[in-house]
Structures are given as C-alpha cells and as structure tokens.
Structure 1
Amino acid sequence: MTVEELVAAVVALAVVSAKRLGAGLADRAVQGVEQSVVDRLGRLYRWIAGRLPGEEGAVLVHEAGRSPAAQALLRRRLVRALSEDPAGVEELRLLLAPASAFAHGGSVLRESPGVPRQLPSALADFTGRGQEIARLVEAAERPGGCRICLVHGPGGIGKTSVVVQAAHRLTASYPDGQLFVDLNGAEERPAVVAEVLGDFLAALGVPRGGIPDDEAGRTRQFRTESAGRRVLVVLDNAADEQQASALIPGGSACAVLITSRRPLATLAVDERVPLSGLDEGTAWDLLRRIGGADRVDEDPESGRDVVRLCGGLPLALRIAGARLATFPARTVSSFARDLADDHRRLDVLSLGERSVRAVFRAAYQPLPVLQQRAFRLLSALDTPDLPAWALSPLLDVDAGAADACLEGLLLAHLVQARRDRTAGQRIGLHDLARGYSKERAAGHLADEADEADEADEADSAVRRLLGALLGAADAADARLRPAGARHGGRDGAVRHAPPDDALAGNVREAVEWFEAERVVLVAAVTHAHARGWWELCWEITDAMSVALEHQWRWDISVRTHELALDAADSLGDGRARAALLRNLGEALRDGGSDLGRAADCFREAIELFQNSGDAHGESDALGNLGILQRQQGVLREAARTLTAAEMLFRGLPLERGLAWTLREKAVIGRHQAHYTRALAQLDEAQGLFAANDEPRGVGWVLRTRADTEKESVLDGCPLPRRWYTGPWPGHRVVGRPEQDPRWAAARTHYEHAARLLYAVRDHRGHTWTTLGLADMALYEDDHTAAELISRALRETDACGDHRGHSRALTVQALLRAETNRLSDAITLAEQALNGPHDHVGAAQASFRLARLYGAAGRHQDVLHTVRQSRTHHHAAGMPFPDLPDTGLAGALTRPVPRARRFRLHR
C-alpha cells in the first residue's frame, strides 16, 4: 500500500471510530464488551493526534465522522506529515494490519487480555530511601516525552525494592498498563531481548501469531503498540545499555524505570539515582522490622553490632533479620558473635536462596583475569582503603593498565572509590566484599583449586606495594626536613618508584600525603613485621616518624616503633636501632607517657650513634635529650646538653639541627629572664630556617619570639596585675602591658606563627600559639581569653598534649574565678599542678593556685603552695621574689578581682 492508500484507510477508521464511540461503544466496553475494539480505536485516535501539531489531530478526527471536507483535510494533513517519515509509515502499516477487517465492517480478529499489571508486590517492611523514591516519581511524572530513570548500585543494595516502591506510586499516572521484567543482567545468561519483546507484545494484546519472529520486527511493533499509550515499563537488572535501549517503548507518554549494577553511562536517561548503603539509623529500623523489634531491643548493643557488621547492605540486613526471626531461641548476642567472625561472616549471611556471597560471586566471575586478580589482592593489606595508584605495583602493570582494571572493578561495584582532600582517588572494599576477596585469595571456595599459589602471589604483590609506599614516604619525609638527614643507614629495603603524582612537591603536600596515608603506612609496618620483612618494617616506620610528630600521633608512633625495634634487633642492625630509639624517645617525651624511658632511649641512641660514627644521628639525639631536659624544667642540665649538640651541629654542618637547638636554648634563656640573649639566638635560628625553606621551623621560632617578647614585658610574673600587685624580680609595672611596644610585637609574631603552622598542619605548634594568645588576653582582661582557652583545651585534649593541657587549665582557672566560680577554679588549678612533672609549668601553676587559695582564705594551703612554687622556680633557675613565705602568702591572700569588663581588644 502507498502512503496515500494507508492514509485513506486510517481516515476511514477514524470515521468509524467517531461513529462507533459516539454510539456508546465505550459504555459497553466498561462492562467488558468489545474491549479489543475500543483498545484499537483508541490507539488509532492517539496515533493520529500524535502525528499532527497541537490539537489539530483530535479536532479533525472528531469532525471526520460528520464532514467529508474534514475527512479530505485530515487525509492531506496526514500525507504531508508522513511524506518524510518512513518510520511513521511502517508504524501505520503495523497499526492497520490487524484492524483492516474492522474498518470494512468485519468482525474483531482477536481478543485482548486487558491492561497488563505486572508489577511485583511492594515489600511491606520496606524501610528508608524516601528521597530516592521521590526523585524517581517526580522524574517519571515530568511532562515532555518518554521519561527514563536509572537506579544503579552494587548487588544486594536494594535497587529492585526501590524501583518497585516507586512504580506502585506511579500506577495511577500510567493507566494503560505496567510491564515488568527481570533481565538477569548479573547472571551468566542475561534475558534475550527478542523473548522479552514477545512477552511485552502479548501482554499488550497482540496475539502470539501476529508477533514478528525477528528482534527488529518485534522492536518496531512494540514501539507501535506503546505509541499513544501511557505505559510504565520496569526493566530490572539490566545487563548493559544495548539490552535496555532495545526495550524502551515508542510512546511519548510512557515511562521506564531501569535497575542495573552498572551505571549504563552511554544510555540517555532523565534521572540517575545511585544507591549506597543504608545509614545506621535506617539499617537499625530495618533490622527491627524484620527480626522483631522486641527481640532486637532486648539487647540493643548486640543489635547495633549486627547492623555495623552488615555494613549498611540491605540484603545482609534482611538475611540477618530473617535469621533472628527464624530461630527465636537464639540470642542476638550469639548471632552477633558469629557474624563478627571474619571466617564465618559470609556463611552466616546466607539463608535459603538468599546469600550475600552469591551477590559477590555473580559480580566477580564475569570479570577478566586481571580484574579478578586485583580484587583478590586488594584485601591482602589490612587497611580500609588505598591510594588508587597502589593497583599498579600490586599488579605489576603500568599505570594505564591499572586504571583500566580499576574502571572495570568500579563498574562491577566490587570496589568503592572516593576523593580525598588532596584531590587524589582512594579505593577500598566494602567490609563484606573484603571477606569474599579474602576467600578467593585463600582458595577457600570449591572452584579455587587452581589458586594454590595465591599466597606467594599476594606476598610478592604486597612487597612491591610496600616498596612503592616507602619510596613515596622517603620523598615526603625529605620535604618535611629539607636541611638534611637525621642519621644514616636507611637504605636496605628494596624500593619501587611510585607515580610522580603520588610524590609530595612541597611541605604542605608532604604533610597532607602523610595524613592521607597514615593508616596505610601503619598497616604496612604491621604487615611487614608479621611477614619478617625487617628492612621494610623499620624503614617505613622511620620515614613517617617526623610526620607522626607533626600529627601528634604519639601512641601510633610508640606502637610502630616497638615493632620496628624488634625488626632492627632481628637484623642485628645497630644503626637502625639507634635511629628508632631516637624516634621512640621523642614519641614518649612529647606524648608524656614515660619520660624516664624517653631519657633512656635518647642516651642509648647517643651511644650507638657514637659507636657507629654517625655524627648526624648523635647530634640529633643529643638535641632531643636536651629538649626533654628542658621540658622537665632541668634547665641548667638542658643547657649543657644542648650546647654539646650545638657544637656537633656547627661542625657537620647541619643547619636544620642547629636551628632547632638554638630555638631550644632561647626557650631556656627566656625562662631564666635572659631575654636579649634569647632573641639573638632566635634571630640566628630564624635565618637558618628561612634559608633552608622550612616554614615549620620559622613558625616555631616566631612563636618562641612572641613568648619571649611577652614575658620580657612581665619579667615572667605568672599573674596579671589585677590578681597580684606584690613584688616580682625585675618587674616594674608602669601601665597596662599592652601599652608596651614589645607586647604589640608579640601579638604580631603569634599571629604570623599561627598562619605558618596552620599551613603546614603542625597541630602542636599551632595549639601552643593559641595558648600564648590566650595568656595575653588574660593579662589584658580581654573577653576573647575564654574562647581561646576553650579551643586550646579541646586541641590539647584531643591530641594528648598533657603539658599544654595543664598550661591551659591554669588560665581557665583564673577565668572561672572571675565569674564567681572560685571552687571550680581551684579544682582546675589543682588538676593543672598534678599534671606532667615539669618545673617550669609547675612553677607557674603552683603560684596561680596559691593565689586562688588566698582568694578562698585557705591560709595553710597558700603557704604550702608558695613553698612548692619557690622550689620549682629555683630548680629551673627562674627568678622568684626574695620574700619570706609568710610575706608572699600575705600578698596573695586577697579577694577575687572585680568582675571582668569584657573589654574588646583593639
């Protein structure tokens, strides 16, 4: 038939449609009579209306039953519309073929099964996902053509449940039917598109004998049958873009909801909804609904353990809840214990046909060999994630092959990826996927008999990875201490070159790299120790020791150095032991956990470095022993030790070590009121740090300079003038401290130091700068002191800086007293004095506590604490009033100063 003949036939049908429907055929159809006639005529009507612009088609069909002129106009309009539309002509042929007999007065050729309603039942215990469902419903109801929505995510994440929930909400919007099919995309044999199309056509009323045999023909007919209808199509578990696109209907008023484990990136969709794990609250609700609220609530702690071990995976939670419901005599705590067993977890998360292991197996088995190997190796190092570049050394392939491999794993949802704050990509396994990865690697599964050599493969892969991590750590460590090595001997382990973009280019990048990789490096040390890879164990530990100091991770530093010392002893390497003892002493000292052992570590390290002729190591260990002695308040002994270190540093020369030593000597000079000499030492130290491009060192010098300038105004007097007007050696108060230009200089240097130390992520240095500013605000009677000291307390408490915490408490105590909370103030000051043994800190803390006792009228406590303060000041060589204890106690026994004025600092 020509186009003109087809149009003549369709116009004839339009006339019949108008007459038959007008005669009440629609009313009879409601009762089930001649339903196929109504369906066919209605479809024809919608097809014509869709081919002509605006409402012209509807008007012409209505008029065609009454006016020959309208019939002629309709024919002309349709011929013009179809003249350049071959696809439309073919649709019209298919539409007319089964209805031609009716057009000539014959009988209906087939019976329609009615409107398809194929949606599965929605889960009664469905929990959460409200935002995702709302997005799907809104997108599917949006006008303007066929809407396609995709929900994608890993197996077991609940994609089908979400789409079915959304589909049931949409049934009223799609009255012409809802089609549903499981495309088996995760199975070895996905559904055949031609067979699915045949089922769809039959559901839409096409007799099996009238369905074309080939896929192309069925696709055309499906598009024709759906044209003009409002049909909702749900394609569950699509394998790929090609499978899904072949099942998209042709009607502009239809909608399609698709689920897939893959993101189907090249498929044009209106709304993409990725699904991730349930949050803890929603997961808890789901477990209670399935396992029984009363049962779970009896032991909420164990219930939350179950939730945590299921990792937010809805399938795992459903199986866990079903197990609890199925075996009511079993306690929740015993189930949680079984689930906590790494070797049994996947066995426990299996019930009947449901299995978490099966989900991972379905994703793993179709992968290429290299991707399967990568999945197995990603669990070899016990760490939550890795930098994405780690795949290259793990697999021993170039970066391009590793990237392609990673893309495949991400598409299969076996690996998770995220961006870290350095803009690098990190990859990891879901906890349950990690269990399956370990099963595969260990060859525990029945089909893994060919993987007997997997352990050797994993060891080789992890050694390459650890070598690359060590190479990157070496580069970052060099950025943190650019002026030279602290010791020799770290060159025994085999290194592998990491990619260039994994290497730190400056101090800031080095600090960020160590922060990002800290957990990985600790896992590397632990793994190397367990495998007996002694060189890797101690060298990785040593490479990250400075970074751990920056990060205040003294507990981690102590733990890793204990393992590394065992590795050095296993090697019989005295140089390695010396280096590690130096690092361990620093961690013990700064963490305040064992100062006596810290001193022993430094002294043994000094001896070992001397015996090996390592002057770099000896000078560094000497300097650190001097810092410990200074922190303990043994200032005279500290000065001697630091002078010995200074002589070694000047002879090497090692400018970095010399600069730090000069800064420490300046601190001692400040405590002993030798301010001019201290400032000269700081001048030299700052010049050395600046010349060697070490901003962290400059920041510490500036902080110490600010401390020195501030105390030179006060001559070390530990109390503001409003609290104490008695004598203090060298202190002659003429006006308020902020009127002295040295005070303004101190504030400027604190603020500059804070910016530098924040930039290089030196939390300890930045916090002590905050302490200095808080102390200034206290002396100024500035209301910002309370805010500053609260911040300092949070930071020192979080990072375990006991000395800094005690200093902060003494300031907070005075602030509390000035707000009429004298009892609380005394408690805080007592806590400060009972902190780490430090003559300098204890000297200040005891004097402030004595003043608080005096405000409370506790005369005996005042006398006792004044004696303590005198002892600490003299032990440290710090100036102290030359008055009898009773006279000094009298000067301290005064009421609390008047209420603070909360004067804003300008």
Structure 2
Amino acid sequence: MTLEELIAAAVSLTVLYAKRIAAGLADRAAESTEQAAAEHLGRLRAWMVTRLHGHGGESAVEQLGVSPVARGLVRQQLAEALHADPHAAGELEALIVPARAAVLNGGFLSPAAHLPVPRQLPPVPGDFTGRDRERHLLEAELSSPSGSRVCLIHGPGGIGKTVTALQVAHRLAAVFPDGQLFADLRGADPVPAAPDEVLGTFLRSLGVSPEAIPDTPEGRTGLFRSELAARRVLLLLDNAADEEQVRPLLPGTGQCATLITSRTPLAVLAVTQRTLLAALPEQEAWDLLGRICGTERIAAEADAGREVIRLCGGLPLALRVAGARLAAFPTRPVSRLTRDLTDERGRLDVMSFGDTTVRSVFQTSYQACSAQQQQAFRLLSALETPSLPAWALAPLLGVDSATAAACLDRLLLIHLVGAHQPEAGSERIVLHDLARLFSRELSTQRPQAEADAAVQRLLGAYLAAADTADAALRPAGRRHTGRNGAARYPPPSDALPGTATDAIRWFDVERGVLLAAVKHAHAAGWWDLCWEITDAMSVSLEHQWRWRESRQAHLLALDAAGRLADGGARAALLRNMGEALRDGGTDLQGAESCFTEAIGLFRDLGDDYGLSDALGNLAILRRQQGRLRESADGLATAEDIFRSLPLERGLAWTLREQAVISRHRGEYASALGKLDRAAALFTANDEPRGVAWVLRTRADTEAESITRGCPLPRHWYDGPWPGQLPARPTDDPLWAQARAHYADAELIMEEVGDHRARTWALLGRAEMALHDGDRRTATGLVQQARLRSESHSDHRALGRALTVRALLRAEEKNLDEAISLAESAVSIHRHLLPDQVGEAVAALRLARLYGAAQRHRNLLTTLERAHTLYQATGMPFPQAPADVLLEALAQPIPKPPRHRFRLF
C-alpha cells in the first residue's frame, strides 16, 4: 500500500470501530468472526492512540466517529508520524491487513445503519424494451458473490447503453444494500469529467466531510476504496471516455461491483464481462415503437410501421424520436412519417424532436476524431456499397496501410463505423444506415474534388486486384490486350488473391463493391475505369450465374467504350455480353449477334487471344442449340489458334467442348480421349474448375456409354436402339466409376463455388438413380437441381430436370402430371432457348409418356419430331420401322426394378 492508502484505510477502519464498537454493539458480538473483527479493530485504534499521543492526536482519535474535523486532523497527524518513522508504515500495514480481512469475513455488521446510503440511480424510461439476453448476463455477473466484478456495456451512440445499464442497476439494487453511486463521465464531450472531481462527489455521498477529503487524486482514490472496503455498493459509471478515466474510480475489493458504459470497448481495462449492444431486432424495435406511440396505432398500419423500423436501422434513439413524433401528432398517419423518412436528404432532420436528435450522437463521436479520422469517415460513404474491405481505407486516404489501419482502429473503437468478418474472409468496414447519411452530409460540405480523388484511387486499387483475380480465372487465359487505359492504384499484397480458388472467393465477396464501382465510374464519366472493371469481373459473374447483373454492368460499359471510340473495348464487352445472354437463356439471337460482331472486331485488331475466345464461345452457343456440326467447325478453328499462340488453358476448354459433341454423337471413346488431354492441361495449369468440368463430363460420357445414349431407362423402353442396351446398368463397373467421378466433381465444384456446374452433376446423378430404379434418390436429386436451375434461370437445366421428374411422377401413377411436366420441358427447349439436343431428349421422353397414356396421335407427331431432331443433331437414333418404335413406346407404365441398396 502507498502511504496515502494506509492513512485512508486506518482512518476508515477506526471510524468503523468508533461507530460500532464504541456504541456497545461489541457486547453482542457472540460470533467468533465478530469477536475477531472487534479485537483487530481495537488493536488498530490502540496503536493510533499510542503513535499520535505525543502529537496531540489522541483526542481526535476519540472523536473520529462523530467529528469530520477530527478525521482531518488525524489524517494530518498520522501522515507526519509515518514520514517521521520509517518503521511505522510497516507496523500500520501489519495491523490493517488482518483488521480489514476480519471485517469482511462473515460480514461484520454492515455500517449501513450509521453511514449514509446513496441512492443516485436516475430512473429507467418506462418504455424500456428488449435486451433480455444482455441483461441476464450482466445481472448474473454483477450479483456473483466472488471476484472483482467490473462489467462494461459498449456500443455506438444512441444504441441504448445507458438505459440498459440503468435497468440492470435498478434490478440489482437489493443486492447492494449499502447504496448505488452514479456518475456521468461525459466521455463523448470535448472535456470529459475529471476522476478526482467524481471521487470528491462520491466521497461526500459516502459521508466523508469536505475537510477530510484529500487534495491529491491518489489520496482520494485511496480514501474512496477504504470507505467502500466494508460496504456492498454498486457503481454505475456512465459514458466513460477511456481506461485512464475509469481506473481511479474502481473499488478495491470484491464486495462492490461496477457497471460501466462507453462508446469504446476499453480493451485494456480488466473487465469480467464485456457486452456489445447491437441494433434492436425487428420484434424488439416494434415493441419499443408501440410502447411510445401505441401498439394499436402501428398495428393498424403494419407495413408503414415496419418501414419506419427499417429506416431507423434498429437504433433505439432513432426509434424513440420516431415514436415521439407519432405520439405528438396522434391524428397523423404512420405512413406520413414513413414518407418523410424515406427522403435520405432530410432523414436526419426528421429524426430530431425537442432536445433529442440522432445527428448529435454521430456529431459528438465525429468531433472527437482527428482530422485524418474525420476525413476517413467522410470518404467511407463516397461509394454506394454496403461494406468495404479494411484495406480499402488506404487508397481512399492515399496513405500507407499502417496509417490507414491506425485510423480505422480509432473509428472502430468509438463505434463510428462497424466491422464484420465474413466466413473465411478478412475484416470489412460497415456503416450504419444513419451514420452513412451523416457521412454523406459531411461530404457535401467539402470540395467534390476530395471525394473524386479518393474514389478514383479506390477504383484503381480494385481494378488492380480484379486484374490479378481475373488472370487466375479466365478460361482461355489472356483474352485481349486492350485493358490498359485506366490508372491502377496498388492494393496491399495481402488483398490480392493468389490461386484460382482464392480468386473465386474474392470476386464472390467483392461483387457488390465492383458493381457499385462500375455505376459510379459511369456516372462520373470515368470511361476507362467503367469498362475495364466490368471486363475484369465478367468471368466471375458467369461463374456465379449473375447474368442479370452482368447485363446491367455491360450495358454501362458498352456505352463507356462507345464514348471512348475503343474498338478493342467494344469487342471484349460484346464477347462478355454474348456469354451473359447465352447462359442466362434470355436472348440467344442477341448472344449470337454479340459473338459475331466481337469476332469481326478481334480479327480487324489482329487480337488472336480475343478472337479464339470469341470463336470458342460462339461454338458453345451453337452446341447448346444443337447445331453440332457448326459448333464442331468453330471449335476446330479456335483449337488451331490456341495451339499456335500457344494457350493451353484455352485449348483445354476447347477439348472439353469437343468431347461433349463427341458424346452427343455416340463417339464415347473419342470423347474420353479428349477429356484425358483436357484434364492433363487443366491440372498442369492449376485450374481446379476445369478439372471439375472434365470430371462431370467424363461421368456423363461413361454413363451414356453404358446406356448407349438412350434417354429412357431400360424398364421404360425395350425397343431397338443403336448398340446393345444393358439389362441392368449397375452390373457394369463403369457405372460405379461414373458415380465416383460425379462425386469427385461435386467436391471440387463446392470448393470453387461453381454452383452451375454442380446443378448439372446433380442432374447426371438423378438420371443414374432413375436407371437404377432408386426413385427416392432420383426424386431428391432432381428436386435440388430444379430449385437451383429455377433460382438461377438456367433454362436448359430446368428442361432436363422436368423430363426426369416427369418419368418419376409417372412411376408414382401421376401420368397426367408427368405429361404436363414433359410438355413444359419440350416448350422450354423449343421456344424459350431453342436447344435441339435438349428438345430431342425431352420429345422422346414425352412420346413415351403419350404412349403409356394411349394418346396415339400425340405419340406419332412427337416421335416424328424427336426423329427429326436426332437426325439434325447427328445423335444416334434407331433405324427401325415406325410401327416397331410406336409399339415399343406405347407400353403401359412400367414397374421400376427393385433397387439394390449399396453399402458404399
């Protein structure tokens, strides 16, 4: 102990002795613990009388229990005695330690009956709502009988820290019979409360006379802790600024507890329970609003009430202001307030009523920041995006990463901005909706050039990172040479994706920011940035099935390329747009026009990289349409260019496409050979997505080589077919191999996030289960595939899923529904796409269902259509008389084979 703490403890314990023992209560001290306390306190008093006898302090010791003046005199005389004799301090401490322990052991008669009991807690608002989980945790910790209980509630301004703390403190009042102390530390003010001033107030509340309060901060802290040594008091320190302000105010023993609120987490303070308050969930926000303005009133306009809650962002202060406005004007509809709040330019003005304003809580935190931190806060709203990665602050400010990180730390500590960490991702910066409005409001007060320069640096950094990610993903490697007009800004090295898998994840996380960047660049007239960012993210949008977003971004980018009169940019963007139109299934004719124009532009520019890629994608379109001969010619031309460049990755994708055509034609050995070469190239070039596509195509090929490409399971069709149809596919070892390849493909697809390819693997497995007679598995797989294809508008996959489902429903004796499903599939492939291969398969399956339903006219016309399509595509079809085929197709619904369950 310091000398000040020894003096304070000695006086406090002697006062206790004077008030309790001298009053005769020691005579009733029957318990041994109370006897020990009386004995120790008596020895301490005797020592003080002896030590101070020669200094005239004996009479003052006698009067300690009744005279504040005596307490001051004893402190002064005891300090002189301790300074005069170096051994005196050790003697005093040897008496104080056991005396204090004896007082605390067993609760030696609380001094509450003779000392003041402060009850300083402000009232809790009657409309307090929610926070049940947080309150229960805090109450359990603060009422615990052991340990030094210091709990903290932290969070942004207006989140409800004080009212939550008051609710907890009032509920625990009975646990702390010696009183509750409260202080507003004014931590968000320019000049927070000084700890020694707070201590002076506390000491007076505890019964210490002003004359006896030490002048030094250390002395006040020592006396404060001594006064609390034998009491059970709860301290509520509201709105703390930092650890330095709080530490002198903490009690020294575990008999008392402290509850602190702060906008910062006070990270280095020894705290037993930290509670971060977040925005209120919708139901609690609804309850709070209803308590303020009337539950029936908002229930009568429920949609408007929910919109008010959404616009308040779950911030309790904003909800209180909104509720106060509604309560003040009871005849006004809730929808009027909704309309007023919808206007972002005036929302913060509406969220002000009487002496309460939401803007002020942000303003207070903002003013506590340095100039650089204030600039960072203003710039974080410059791009319209829900979040930004932490590294983005460096290019926004134009500073190094370390400086930006320190700046961000401060903004996070005071909760002016928030942060979250996606799964397996890095920290991201988020702004509460109302904080974002305040940030924009501040930005309008600054020159526009500040925000423009910052956003240009940010977009340049994103473009540089997207370049790196795009290079890892492009199916044909380098696509063209024209993307070099926009200025790049170097992002931190740890922000750059390293592998193809990293690139896929990076684009998935940053997609929203990149789309916002394209819109911002176009609006600002930064044409190079607009089209180059769009081109850099095009492959990732295709991977993620984001065809609508891709089309929207490419329309802006094509306009930017036109304003630049850049033929290379236009060629690249047309190639990308063609892919979005093709794979989105919305405009195949438009896709063909895009690819055709891009091919011409790339030829004129002498860009073989772009040319080979555009040729390959046009060939894919024609293959998907069932124009297999044209597709094969286009792929052969692309293959020649890829070999001449050379460009192995582009060649690998071309070989895979050629394998698909060979499979459609029934040339299974040729298809497998091409897939072997493609797999080797993908593996050598570290492209796991390509490996997964090869595995899936291999599984398709292996399964079809057993069923000879017949789209009907053997129990559905026993007629003629080119090649020998198997009695039971599962008897062939290649069948199990195909199933294993599907499983391997799905594992990689899941890893790289290629949900589109996984849908097609699910369809392949569903068809295998259909052939096996495993209806349960087939139904589950085809349902998954159908939901995925519908959610991503993959019409080709949907058509295939519907025909598999049709056969399954027929086996479940729902023939009418089965026919309807198959008819829908035929319509998708014929009219929506069109897709001759898909329509040929769907038509033959529909013909079989018509036959089972004895709808002979429909059977005949549909079979003729299927025959025509099979011939047009070059797919194998039985060369048998029509009557033989009709008879085979007109059989009743078959009974599926008994499925043999596999253990592995």
2:659 is equivalent to residue 662 of structure 1? no
Separation (CA, whole Å) in 1 of partners of 2:12 and 2:266: 42
Relative to structure 1, the CA distance from residue 851 to residue 268 in structure 2 (aligned partners, 3 Å threshold; closer, same or farther) is same
Please report how far the alpha carbon of residue 421 of structure 1 lies from its aligned counterpart in structure 2 after TM superposition.
2.7
Aligned Cα root-mean-square deviation (Å): 3.0
Name the counterpart of 2:846: 849
Name the counterpart of 2:186: 184
Separation (CA, whole Å) in 1 of partners of 2:399 and 2:694: 47
Relative to structure 1, the CA distance from residue 717 to residue 345 in structure 2 (aligned partners, 3 Å threshold; closer, same or farther) is same
Name the counterpart of 1:328: 330
Please report how far the alpha carbon of residue 802 of structure 1 lies from its aligned counterpart in structure 2 after TM superposition.
1.5
Separation (CA, whole Å) in 2 of partners of 1:696 and 1:507: 8
Paired residues of 2:214 and 2:220 also in contact (CA < 8 A) = yes
Unaligned runs of 5+ in 2: 51-57, 71-112
Residue of structure 1 aligned with 2:505, choices 484, 509, 512: 512
Separation (CA, whole Å) in 1 of partners of 2:323 and 2:368: 30
> Which has the larger displacement, 708-717 or 384-393?
708-717
CA-to-aligned-CA distance 1:355-384 (integer Å, 9 cap, x gap): 110000000011001000000000011111
Please report how far the alpha carbon of residue 828 of structure 1 lies from its aligned counterpart in structure 2 after TM superposition.
2.1
Name the counterpart of 1:837: 834
2:767 is equivalent to residue 758 of structure 1? no
Please report how far the alpha carbon of residue 56 of structure 1 lies from its aligned counterpart in structure 2 after TM superposition.
5.7
Separation (CA, whole Å) in 2 of partners of 1:9 and 1:360: 44
Name the counterpart of 1:775: 767
Pairing of 1:755-904 with structure 2 (within 5 A): 755-782=747-774, 783-835=776-828, 836-883=833-880, 885=882, 887-898=884-895, 901-904=898-901
2:344 is equivalent to residue 342 of structure 1? yes
Paired residues of 2:199 and 2:220 also in contact (CA < 8 A) = yes
Relative to structure 1, the CA distance from residue 765 to residue 261 in structure 2 (aligned partners, 3 Å threshold; closer, same or farther) is same
Separation (CA, whole Å) in 1 of partners of 2:631 and 2:778: 32
One-letter identity of the residue aligned with 1:59: Q
Separation (CA, whole Å) in 1 of partners of 2:764 and 2:162: 59
Residue of structure 2 aligned with 1:302, choices 301, 304, 308: 304
CA-to-aligned-CA distance 1:656-714 (integer Å, 9 cap, x gap): 22221222122112111122222222222222222222222222122212211211111
Paired residues of 2:715 and 2:897 also in contact (CA < 8 A) = no
2:174 is equivalent to residue 172 of structure 1? yes
Name the counterpart of 2:623: 630
Paired residues of 1:632 and 1:839 also in contact (CA < 8 A) = yes
2:34 is equivalent to residue 58 of structure 1? yes
CA-to-aligned-CA distance 1:123-165 (integer Å, 9 cap, x gap): 2221111010011111111122441111000000000111111
Separation (CA, whole Å) in 2 of partners of 1:12 and 1:274: 41
One-letter identity of the residue aligned with 1:757: M
Separation (CA, whole Å) in 1 of partners of 2:584 and 2:879: 36
Please report how far the alpha carbon of residue 112 of structure 1 lies from its aligned counterpart in structure 2 after TM superposition.
7.7
Residue of structure 2 aligned with 1:99, choices 44, 65, 85: 65
Residue of structure 2 aligned with 1:493, choices 472, 486, 500: 486
Name the counterpart of 1:20: 23
CA-to-aligned-CA distance 1:791-824 (integer Å, 9 cap, x gap): 2222222222111121112112222222233333
One-letter identity of the residue aligned with 1:805: L
Name the counterpart of 1:123: 125
Separation (CA, whole Å) in 1 of partners of 2:473 and 2:308: 43
Relative to structure 1, the CA distance from residue 12 to residue 712 in structure 2 (aligned partners, 3 Å threshold; closer, same or farther) is closer
Separation (CA, whole Å) in 2 of partners of 1:540 and 1:93: 87
One-letter identity of the residue aligned with 2:679: Q
Identity, in percent, stands at 56
Separation (CA, whole Å) in 2 of partners of 1:727 and 1:429: 67
Relative to structure 1, the CA distance from residue 10 to residue 552 in structure 2 (aligned partners, 3 Å threshold; closer, same or farther) is closer
2:544 is equivalent to residue 551 of structure 1? yes
Q: Secondary structure at the match of 2:428?
A: strand
Q: Secondary structure at the match of 2:345?
A: coil
One-letter identity of the residue aligned with 1:575: G
Relative to structure 1, the CA distance from residue 17 to residue 684 in structure 2 (aligned partners, 3 Å threshold; closer, same or farther) is closer
Separation (CA, whole Å) in 1 of partners of 2:160 and 2:700: 60
Q: Secondary structure at the match of 2:146?
A: coil
Paired residues of 1:678 and 1:708 also in contact (CA < 8 A) = yes
Separation (CA, whole Å) in 2 of partners of 1:286 and 1:855: 63
Name the counterpart of 1:219: 221
Paired residues of 1:230 and 1:251 also in contact (CA < 8 A) = no
2:645 is equivalent to residue 652 of structure 1? yes
Separation (CA, whole Å) in 2 of partners of 1:571 and 1:103: 89
Paired residues of 1:482 and 1:693 also in contact (CA < 8 A) = no
Relative to structure 1, the CA distance from residue 172 to residue 7 in structure 2 (aligned partners, 3 Å threshold; closer, same or farther) is closer
Pairing of 1:647-726 with structure 2 (within 5 A): 647-726=640-719
2:361 is equivalent to residue 359 of structure 1? yes
Please report how far the alpha carbon of residue 436 of structure 1 lies from its aligned counterpart in structure 2 after TM superposition.
0.4
One-letter identity of the residue aligned with 1:319: V
One-letter identity of the residue aligned with 2:588: L
> Which has the larger displacement, 173-182 or 327-336?
327-336
Separation (CA, whole Å) in 1 of partners of 2:727 and 2:861: 32
Paired residues of 2:20 and 2:26 also in contact (CA < 8 A) = no
Paired residues of 1:112 and 1:206 also in contact (CA < 8 A) = no
Please report how far the alpha carbon of residue 94 of structure 1 lies from its aligned counterpart in structure 2 after TM superposition.
11
Please report how far the alpha carbon of residue 13 of structure 1 lies from its aligned counterpart in structure 2 after TM superposition.
7.6
2:283 is equivalent to residue 281 of structure 1? yes
Please report how far the alpha carbon of residue 768 of structure 1 lies from its aligned counterpart in structure 2 after TM superposition.
1.1
Pairing of 1:82-97 with structure 2 (within 5 A): none
Paired residues of 1:360 and 1:414 also in contact (CA < 8 A) = yes
CA-to-aligned-CA distance 1:492-517 (integer Å, 9 cap, x gap): 11111111101111111111111111
> Which has the larger displacement, 592-601 or 663-672?
663-672
Please report how far the alpha carbon of residue 825 of structure 1 lies from its aligned counterpart in structure 2 after TM superposition.
2.3
Paired residues of 2:341 and 2:347 also in contact (CA < 8 A) = yes
Separation (CA, whole Å) in 2 of partners of 1:650 and 1:10: 94
Q: Secondary structure at the match of 2:240?
A: coil
One-letter identity of the residue aligned with 2:188: A
Paired residues of 1:188 and 1:366 also in contact (CA < 8 A) = yes
Name the counterpart of 1:393: 395
Please report how far the alpha carbon of residue 93 of structure 1 lies from its aligned counterpart in structure 2 after TM superposition.
13
Separation (CA, whole Å) in 2 of partners of 1:898 and 1:82: 108
Separation (CA, whole Å) in 2 of partners of 1:344 and 1:125: 27
Q: Secondary structure at the match of 1:638?
A: helix
Name the counterpart of 1:447: none
Separation (CA, whole Å) in 1 of partners of 2:387 and 2:62: 61
Please report how far the alpha carbon of residue 625 of structure 1 lies from its aligned counterpart in structure 2 after TM superposition.
0.5
Separation (CA, whole Å) in 2 of partners of 1:94 and 1:799: 88
Please report how far the alpha carbon of residue 542 of structure 1 lies from its aligned counterpart in structure 2 after TM superposition.
0.8
Paired residues of 1:819 and 1:899 also in contact (CA < 8 A) = no
> Which has the larger displacement, 521-530 or 766-775?
766-775
Please report how far the alpha carbon of residue 213 of structure 1 lies from its aligned counterpart in structure 2 after TM superposition.
4.1
CA-to-aligned-CA distance 1:436-461 (integer Å, 9 cap, x gap): 00000111xxxxxxx3x2x1011111
Question: Would you say how many aligned residue pairs link Structure 1 and Structure 2?
Answer: 845
Paired residues of 1:481 and 1:694 also in contact (CA < 8 A) = no
CA-to-aligned-CA distance 1:586-610 (integer Å, 9 cap, x gap): 1110110110100000000001111
Please report how far the alpha carbon of residue 60 of structure 1 lies from its aligned counterpart in structure 2 after TM superposition.
2.8
Relative to structure 1, the CA distance from residue 101 to residue 840 in structure 2 (aligned partners, 3 Å threshold; closer, same or farther) is closer
Name the counterpart of 1:578: 571
Tell me the TM-score normalised to structure 2 length.
Answer: 0.89
Name the counterpart of 1:525: 518
Q: Secondary structure at the match of 1:20?
A: coil
> Which has the larger displacement, 498-507 or 636-645?
636-645
Residue of structure 2 aligned with 1:560, choices 547, 550, 553: 553
One-letter identity of the residue aligned with 1:719: L
> Which has the larger displacement, 112-121 or 403-412?
112-121
Name the counterpart of 1:52: none
Tell me the TM-score normalised to structure 1 length.
Answer: 0.88
Separation (CA, whole Å) in 1 of partners of 2:590 and 2:615: 15
Please report how far the alpha carbon of residue 101 of structure 1 lies from its aligned counterpart in structure 2 after TM superposition.
6.1
2:709 is equivalent to residue 743 of structure 1? no
Please report how far the alpha carbon of residue 885 of structure 1 lies from its aligned counterpart in structure 2 after TM superposition.
4.7
